Structures are given as C-alpha cells and as structure tokens.
Structure 1
C-alpha cells in the first residue's frame, strides 16, 4: 500500500467513526419528560391548600439532556364523557424545564371526580410541550384506587 492509500483508509475510519458518534450524540441529547399521577394525598395546614380535603398530585420531570418548555398539564379522560381533558389551572402558564431542574408539581383537586369513578384506572396525566410532543403518566394499578372511586366498586 502506498502512503496515499494508507492516509485514505485512516481518513475513512475517522470519518465513519465521527459520523457514528455524531448520530449517537443526537439520539442521546434529546429532552425526555417523565410524568406521574398520584391520588389521595393530605396537605399540611399553611400550605395554601385546604388541609381538610384529599388532593391529587402530578409530577413533571425533565430527565433528558435538552431543555423543554411545558405548555400545559391536564388529566386525560377516557372515551364516553362529554369532554376529553380536564386542564389543570396551575399548569396553563407553562414552565421551562432544563436538565437537573427540580420536579414541577401540580396539585389537582379531587372535587367532582366521582363522575369518573367507574373509569378511574383509565384517567392519566398528560403534559404537552412546545414542540407538540405529548407525554403521559402510567395508568394506576388496581391497588392504587383513589377514595373518590371506591364508592363505585
């Protein structure tokens, strides 16, 4: 092999490896949002919420490497009701979440949720970001039945 062929092969190896590393970084450096929903939480007095009621909690965390802007937070209802979503008032303002930011917490009142008691397992939290991607929480397990749904069982 001549020196020009050797340099060409070395250049090819470095070029392909640089391309592969670039593609891997692209897929690694995306934003990823985790959403969770929890029911029947008590709050302490002086927290700004009524401590005689039970509350729901939606947690939103950016676990990815890029910042994202949360545009709104809602509860997604199953089919068969007059509306498809219950928008969380505290989640309308939007919030920028960057890597390492603390979890954003949105409180949900449990008033009037008895209407959806038969389908409580299908109610999930939904977060929409500025890029149009929609993130969902997992469905609750049967042992996590909220108090407002126990009357229907």
Structure 2
C-alpha cells in the first residue's frame, strides 16, 4: 500500500499529526530490518505505518485491538490487521490480555514482519530512535516476563540488520 494511502487512512481514523510522524519513524526504522528477501518489505512498511491507527480512538492499550478492528473494517489484508494487533511491546499472551481487560487472545508477534514492526515500535519514542537499554529502562515497571520478551524480541530482530 502506498504511503499516502496509509497516511490518509490514519487521518480518516482520527490520528494526530504526532501519531502520524511516529508511524513514519517506525516505518523508517522497521525497513532497516527488512533487507532479507524472505521479509515482505511492503507488508512491513504498511504494517508499520498503520500500527497505531487505533490511536485515533484511544491512547491506552486498547488501541492495538481497536486498530486491528479498523483495519478489518476497511477491508485491509488480515496480515496488516494482525501486525497492528500484535505490536504492543513484544506482544501479549491471552492471559495478559485478559488481565488487561482486552479480548483474551494470543497477541504475541509470530511472523518476521510482525516481529520487525513490534521491535521498531519499541525503539521509537515519538520520532526519536532510542537504545534497547533505554527501552528496557522505560519498561522497568512491567512484569519480568514482558521485559524478557522485549529483550528476546530485540535479540532476534537485531540479527536481521
């Protein structure tokens, strides 16, 4: 999907210019991990640009779930909707979703494209790229399992760069 089409969808969904700038920064970083021919670069670019489309509805954790629903309602490829749903941190298990009052389903990234977008989002604060160390420091209040998942995801995705 072309960048201008993704930006139009973000605006239509009610996303601010700050969210749009963040999504562009995540896309730019994500593409640095997508040079291997086994990675679908177009899917990474589209998923990264639309990963926060749910922020037009809410800025809490529900934005991922809302974003997936928006993508499906727009008739977008389900692979894009799944990237949007699974981009939070390093993903959430069904149990963690249930505890957070989200639909209890496994939202951990599985495909390379899902993992790349989740990792890139972890390393972009606003439009600024941060280090893994800074990301982990920001995640200190999260349960240990979630912090470990963020770290393991980083180790896996950094191998693609």
- TM-score over 0.5 for the pair: no
Give TM-score scaled by structure 2 length: 0.26
Give TM-score scaled by structure 1 length: 0.27
Which structure: greater strand fraction?
Answer: 1
Larger Rg: 1
